[in-house]
């Protein structure tokens, strides 16, 4: 008996092993146990049998001992147990995708109907004492050691139990769900990279603790084929310490695997998608006949795996990054001995869906809240735009109307996953109603295009993080200090179950080998409120650490893909859209903070409600080319003439040529007319747009305001466009603000800003120093141009009349407290609901029944035009409260009430025990792994979050309803500047700052209550309107009235005794200013207060400067009380400076005198020196021209001037026409998309109408038939 069993066992095992003999097998048939020793498996057969990826091959597989135990009398309930001692596996990376071995087909089991033997095999449990995996590649070798590996069947809830509870069979779909769990106790990973790119890199060592892997497989009962599967990996909390060398080694290994994995995965994914695309139709068709009250059907539906997916659920990951000596370590004194940075990720979830249909919804994705993030809406808009563009490119003919007869057969509409895809239904939109009507008939080309679009598939990678913290860099001097956060989440501003980071990367493809246009890859990122602290040591450490690692990764990637064909290169064309909700940048006071100064703040918060960053121009109302063209025109109008101060000959133009080409749509990529996947990837993605709506800044921590926020910058929107040339080495930025930029500042806030500027200046010096140490570090440059319509800087001064409270306003709109309160209440009633609807539309859009390729989608919230008079107070609070209640109601609606239906009929092939057991142990949630992972976020109270939200900072916290009330009286002095043009340029160790402005004016208020001033300050920007000017884009501005130029030049570094350069390079600065044609009235008390206002608390080295004053008038009003009653009333003092030059040298010596004939630094044709008479400079006098010649010259110049004015007017009209045409073209494109979507919707409605009429007709016939039988 034993010999017969041995021979049969040997016969079957010999297919998978090498040189297996009967002496290696020992078994006991009656006890159901046995043992095999020294097994050598057939690596070629196992490679194909295990369906390993095509980029890897099994080169060796050995096992020293295998023991098994079979309980013959309990095979239905107790699994077969296999115990393996040591398993040694060797894997090799295939440079080319591996081909399936044709000889392996004989060893494959013949597929058949799922039977009892399959149940026994699927229930086998495996335990391995140790697994040793050797991984060999051309660029690295790896060794993975895994201990205590077990594979067991589990119930849907992850518990051990009866084998009958570990699978669920659907009585209607003919499918079976099998639940398994893989677990290992520990794993050790070691990798060593070699080659030129990985020279001198240390080995990478990682340790993994106890890890659970939940596996759910869905099989078809007819042929035992695996239809779909889900793998969930959940490790225990991880803690890794990595140096930059180990990070570079890990990136080198990943770069070596990238090319073969990409080549093998591309073909495998398309082939697998071609097999899977037909499966959902069978599933839905058969499911439609299942009973809704069948318990087993409901259990199957709850745990169903509709598509293959892979998930990583990491509850906590602690990364400690350390720098090694070298270019990756900064030379900053506090970082010279190295530093470490701790990164903590909490509740990180990574998902991969390789076979998702583009037109399907995502409601079945585990843990994915489609209505809580705008990613699905963004993707739907992109797909709709792609469909419209593709139809216009391949079939530009519009839909033609056609009349249909009264009776025709019903046209079938393809159904997939329970959704009617209008892209597929468009060809069949000729169904009719009982009466003759007109429909839209598509051409055959359009029909084929829509049919192909209906097969569009996606591979989607999702990363979600509930919370993360980046601590400040710790050094040897900080080792005993408690960790302080550098970047942290502000969970109090969001509901408890809202995630912090949500990123999605989507790739598109068609099943099979189909060459047809696909949308470009898309990366969508949304970041919830975070707090970023600016600390010099941490920023400098990151600036030295990250580029060093990134440069090594780029070098390794280049070396790994050097032999790859150009067609196999990864696509660099990608659409990016990132959005940050309520981020906050914090500047903290250092040890110089004096607690006795009540008005001195501890922190400066730079905040915004929403910040977006994108390289896509799909939006119709924001980030468009028309906005870029308008910004370019504004910069040109505000820029001084070329060669005029503050410009110089070596200045770079902030308007790069790429901006102009992009605004005129002249930078599109030529793709040709051939039909290929990248056919429509034509728009350039090199120009980026960042929008901040709105931006404001607050001082916090001052005792005078009870630690409440005190405003520095009033809320104002900001738009910036960026272009990165040669990677990130050359950067161009142009930006502008829309509306009035209001600022207020007192003396102690000024001291705080001065200290922060010193820290930032030192930090920038170290950043420049470390960048120069890197290869090609001196080739970089940054040019930034900013235009601001108007700025009002209010200086808060001590009041000269503390007993008086004047209600004099600071601007042209007189408002007292009562009128301000009425206006605020009215604005909240009218403006706040619009903000609430807009913000909630972006954060929590309403659920959509079906996602289609060709549909008109609403615009996202950030693309709505900003309202200039919005009150942000009620809007933000209402939005947060609404968001909290909305998420609560969504969670309540998402709960399944299937427990009440526990009693139902049993399946035909299952016992009542199985049904009752499954129903008793299965809670409402479908998967225990996801439910346990989300337990932390669900347990947090939403009401508590709503209460905390009300205490968060927003622009309305300083309104009249603020709890911070101050009754002290202050005086103010407001300085107004219009048409501001600012350019910052840094290149090759030299930087310059150019500033030009017009119409400097002042306004004073001798005494006003502090809270009343704050109320009027918040209303000032809303009441401001931009003056209408007739200046065109082609006209340049007049000579600016206020301009300055700050030049900073880096000097050679000092040399120590050994002849080596040490420390920071010194620099020299020079400030040049020109002030002309100004008339400034000023009270004498205000002038004295300003002298005290600008007084610093420390003695700083004097900065050399040169100021040229021309036609400046000061009207000083004596408002101070006289000491003697008999003294005459004080008279104003008028000071008129026609031409005056003021200079200060490095020693701080001031010099006053007339302007020099030749400027000492920057020569300007418009400067007074250029207009000096020849006699004053000692040159010989020229003869006076005759009167006739002078008259002729004047007439000629007059005619030329008139001709130039006519040409200028013509060019101005052409520029205006171009702007209008660009706006009309974009509007026409949007309208075209809307019309196309409306046509599709109308055709779909007609089809639905015909279906309903046919259904009514069938029901009427059945009713007549029943009546006839009666």
pLDDT tens track for 545-603: 888 888 877 777 676 666 554 444 545 789 999 999 999 999 998 887 777 788 889 99
Q: Which residues pair with 1078 in a beta bridge?
A: 1112
Q: Do 442 and 854 contact (CB within 8 A), yes or no?
A: no
Q: Do 874 and 932 contact (CB within 8 A), yes or no?
A: no
> What DSSP designation does 1140 have?
E
Strands 309-322 and 226-235: parallel
Q: How far apart are alpha carbons 50 and 615 in whole angstroms?
A: 43
Q: How far apart are alpha carbons 1213 and 1033 in whole angstroms?
A: 10
Nearest residue to 306 (alpha-carbon basis) of 348, 349, 361, 351: 361
What pLDDT score does 848 carry?
A: 37
What pLDDT score does 1221 carry?
A: 83
Q: How far apart are alpha carbons 371 and 955 in whole angstroms?
A: 28
Q: Do 711 and 744 contact (CB within 8 A), yes or no?
A: yes
Split the chain (1270 residues) into runs of 10 and give each run's mean pLDDT: 74 78 80 86 82 86 90 88 93 82 52 85 93 89 94 92 90 89 94 72 89 93 89 94 88 84 81 69 46 73 90 94 86 86 93 91 85 84 89 71 44 36 38 40 79 90 93 80 87 74 93 88 93 93 88 72 52 87 92 79 93 84 83 90 84 91 87 81 90 92 84 93 85 92 92 92 88 74 93 89 44 36 37 37 38 37 39 39 41 39 36 51 58 54 36 43 63 92 89 91 88 85 69 64 91 76 82 92 90 88 91 88 72 89 90 70 40 40 57 82 81 79 80 81 87 90 81
What pLDDT score does 426 carry?
A: 37
Angle value at C-alpha 600, between 595 and 604, nearest 5 degrees: 120
pTM of full prediction above 0.85: no
| Crossing angle for the helix pair 747-773 and 1084-1093, to the nearest 10 degrees | 40
What pLDDT score does 597 carry?
A: 84
What pLDDT score does 726 carry?
A: 76
What pLDDT score does 716 carry?
A: 92
Give first-to-last CA distance, the chain, whole Å.
71
Nearest residue to 1168 (alpha-carbon basis) of 1122, 1112, 1250, 1125: 1112
Cβ neighbours of residue 152 closer than 8 Å, sequence gap 6 or more: 79, 125, 160, 180, 181, 183
What pLDDT score does 496 carry?
A: 63
What pLDDT score does 349 carry?
A: 94
What pLDDT score does 437 carry?
A: 43
Q: Centre a 10 Å sphere on the Cβ of residue 978 and count the other Cβ atoms it contains.
A: 19
Residue 1019 in tokens: 């209303």
What pLDDT score does 935 carry?
A: 54
What pLDDT score does 573 carry?
A: 87
> What DSSP designation does 474 have?
B
Q: How far apart are alpha carbons 949 and 484 in whole angstroms?
A: 23
> pLDDT of 721-761, one tens digit each?
999 987 778 899 999 998 889 999 999 999 999 999 999 99
Nearest residue to 983 (alpha-carbon basis) of 590, 619, 717, 656: 656
Angle value at C-alpha 616, between 611 and 622, nearest 5 degrees: 55
């Amino acid at each position: 008996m034993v010999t017969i069993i041995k021979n049969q066992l040997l016969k079957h095992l010999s297919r998978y092993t090498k040189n297996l003999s009967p002496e290696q097998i020992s078994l006991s048939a009656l006890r159901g146990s046995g043992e095999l020793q020294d097994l050598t498996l057939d690596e070629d057969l196992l490679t194909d049998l295990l369906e390993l990826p095509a980029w890897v091959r099994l080169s060796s597989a050995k096992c020293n001992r295998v023991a098994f135990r079979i309980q013959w009398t309990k095979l239905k309930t107790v699994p077969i147990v296999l115990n393996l001692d040591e398993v040694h596996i060797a894997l090799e990376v295939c440079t080319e995708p591996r081909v399936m071995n044709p000889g392996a087909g004989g060893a494959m089991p013949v597929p058949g109907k799922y039977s009892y033997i399959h149940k026994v095999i699927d229930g086998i449990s495996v335990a391995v004492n140790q697994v040793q995996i050797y991984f060999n590649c051309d660029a690295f070798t790896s060794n993975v050691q895994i201990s205590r590996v077990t594979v067991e069947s589990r119930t849907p809830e992850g518990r051990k139990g009866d084998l009958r509870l570990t699978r669920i069979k659907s009585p209607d779909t003919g499918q079976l769900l099998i639940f398994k769990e893989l677990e290992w106790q520990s794993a050790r990973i070691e990798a060593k990279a070699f080659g030129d790119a990985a020279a001198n890199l240390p080995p990478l060592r990682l340790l993994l603790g106890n890890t659970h892997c939940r596996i759910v497989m869905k099989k078809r009962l007819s042929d035992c084929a695996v239809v779909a599967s889900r793998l969930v990996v959940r490790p225990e909390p991880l803690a890794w310490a990595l140096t930059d060398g180990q990070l570079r080694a890990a990136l080198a290994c990943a770069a070596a695997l990238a090319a073969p994995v990409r080549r093998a995965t591309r073909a495998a994914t398309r082939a697998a998608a071609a097999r899977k695309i037909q499966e959902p139709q069978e599933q839905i068709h058969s499911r439609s006949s299942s009973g809704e009250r069948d318990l087993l059907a409901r259990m199957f539906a709850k745990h169903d795996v509709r598509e293959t997916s892979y998930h990583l659920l990491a509850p906590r990951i602690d990364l400690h990054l350390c720098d090694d000596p070298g270019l990756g370590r900064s030379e900053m004194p506090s970082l010279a001995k190295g530093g470490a940075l701790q990164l903590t990720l909490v509740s990180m979830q990574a998902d991969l869906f390789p076979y998702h249909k583009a037109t399907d919804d995502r409601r079945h994705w585990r843990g994915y809240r489609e209505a809580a993030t705008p990613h699905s809406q963004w993707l739907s808009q992109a797909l709709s735009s792609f469909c419209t563009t593709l139809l216009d490119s391949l079939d530009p003919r519009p839909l033609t109307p056609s009349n249909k007869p009264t009776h025709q057969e019903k046209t079938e509409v393809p159904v997939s996953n329970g959704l009617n895809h209008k892209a597929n239904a468009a060809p069949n939109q000729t169904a009719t109603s009982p009466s003759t009507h007109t429909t839209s008939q598509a051409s055959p080309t359009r029909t084929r295009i829509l049919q192909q679009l209906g097969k569009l598939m996606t591979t989607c990678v999702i990363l979600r993080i509930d919370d993360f913290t980046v601590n400040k860099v710790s050094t040897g001097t900080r080792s005993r200090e408690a960790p302080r956060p550098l970047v942290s989440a502000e969970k109090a501003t969001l509901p408890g179950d809202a995630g912090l980071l949500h990123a999605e990367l989507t790739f598109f493809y068609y099943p099979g080998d189909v060459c047809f246009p696909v949308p470009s890859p898309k990366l969508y990122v949304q970041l919830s409120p975070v707090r970023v602290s600016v600390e010099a040591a941490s920023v400098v450490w990151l600036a030295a650490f990250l580029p060093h690692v990134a440069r090594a990764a780029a070098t390794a990637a280049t070396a790994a893909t050097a032999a790859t064909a150009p067609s196999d290169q990864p696509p660099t064309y990608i659409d990016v859209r990132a959005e940050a909700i309520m981020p906050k940048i914090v500047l903290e006071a250092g040890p110089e903070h004096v607690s006795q100064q009540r008005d001195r703040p501890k922190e400066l918060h730079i905040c915004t409600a929403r910040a977006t960053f994108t390289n896509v121009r799909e939006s119709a109302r924001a980030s468009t080319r028309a906005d870029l063209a308008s910004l370019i025109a504004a910069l040109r109008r505000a820029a001084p003439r070329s060669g005029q101060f503050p410009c110089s000959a070596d200045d770079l133009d902030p308007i790069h040529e790429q901006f102009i080409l992009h605004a005129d749509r002249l930078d599109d990529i030529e793709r040709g007319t051939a039909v290929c996947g990248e056919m429509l990837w034509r728009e350039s993605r090199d120009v980026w747009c960042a929008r901040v709506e709105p931006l404001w800044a607050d001082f916090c921590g001052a005792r005078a305001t009870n630690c409440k926020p005190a405003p520095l910058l009033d809320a104002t929107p900001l738009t910036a466009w960026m272009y990165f040339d040669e990677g990130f080495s050359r950067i161009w930025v142009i930006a502008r603000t829309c509306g009035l930029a209001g600022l207020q500042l007192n003396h102690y806030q000024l001291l705080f800003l001065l200290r922060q500027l010193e820290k930032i200046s030192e930090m920038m010096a170290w950043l420049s120093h470390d960048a120069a140490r890197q290869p090609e570090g001196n080739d970089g440059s940054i040019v930034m141009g900013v235009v601001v319509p108007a700025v009002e800087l209010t200086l808060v001064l001590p009041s000269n009349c503390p007993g008086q409270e004047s209600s004099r306003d600071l601007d042209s709109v007189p408002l007292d407290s009562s009128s301000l309160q009425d206006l605020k209440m009215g604005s909240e009633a009218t403006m706040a609901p619009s903000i609430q609807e807009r913000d909630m539309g972006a954060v929590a859009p309403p659920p959509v029944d079906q996602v289609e390729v060709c549909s008109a989608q609403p615009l996202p919230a950030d693309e709505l035009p900003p309202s200039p008079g919005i009150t942000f107070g009620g809007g933000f609070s209402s939005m947060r409260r609404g968001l909290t209640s909305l998420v609560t109601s969504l969670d309540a609606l998402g709960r399944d009430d299937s427990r009440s239906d526990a009693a139902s009929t049993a399946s035909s092939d299952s016992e009542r025990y199985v049904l009752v057991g499954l129903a008793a142990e299965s809670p409402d949630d479908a998967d225990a792994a996801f439910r346990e992972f989300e337990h932390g976020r669900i347990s947090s109270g939403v009401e508590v979050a709503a209460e905390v939200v009300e205490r968060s900072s927003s622009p309305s916290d300083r309104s009249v309803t603020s709890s911070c009330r101050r009754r002290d009286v202050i005086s103010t002095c407001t300085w107004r500047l219009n048409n501001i043009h600012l350019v910052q340029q840094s290149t090759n160790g030299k930087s310059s700052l150019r500033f030009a402005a017009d119409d400097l004016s002042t306004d004073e208020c001798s005494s006003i209550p502090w809270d009343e001033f704050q109320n009027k300050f918040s209303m000032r920007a809303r009441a401001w309107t931009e003056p209408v000017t007739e200046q065109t884009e082609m006209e340049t501005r007049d000579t600016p009235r206020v301009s300055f130029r700050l030049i900073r030049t880096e000097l050679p570094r000092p040399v120590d005794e050994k002849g080596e350069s040490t420390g920071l390079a010194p620099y020299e600065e020079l400030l040049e200013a020109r002030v002309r044609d100004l008339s400034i009235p000023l009270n004498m008390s205000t002038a004295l207060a300003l002298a005290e206002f600008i007084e610093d608390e420390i003695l700083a080295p004097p900065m050399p400067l040169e100021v040229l004053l021309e036609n400046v008038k000061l009207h000083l009003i004596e408002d101070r009380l006289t000491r003697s009653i008999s003294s005459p009333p004080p008279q104003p003092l008028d000071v008129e400076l026609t031409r005056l030059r003021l200079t200060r040298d490095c020693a701080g010596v001031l010099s006053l005198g007339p302007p020099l004939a030749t400027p000492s630094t920057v020569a300007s044709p418009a400067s007074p020196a250029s207009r000096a008479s020849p006699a004053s400079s000692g040159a010989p006098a020229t003869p006076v021209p005759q009167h006739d010649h002078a008259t002729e010259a004047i007439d000629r110049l007059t005619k030329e001037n008139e001709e130039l004015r006519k040409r200028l007017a013509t060019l101005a009209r052409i520029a205006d026409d171009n702007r209008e045409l660009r706006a009309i073209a974009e509007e026409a494109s949007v309208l075209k998309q809307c019309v196309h979507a409306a046509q599709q919707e109308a055709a779909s409605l007609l089809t639905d109408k015909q279906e309903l009429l046919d259904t009514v007709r069938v029901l009427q016939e059945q009713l007549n038939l029943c009546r006839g039988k009666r």
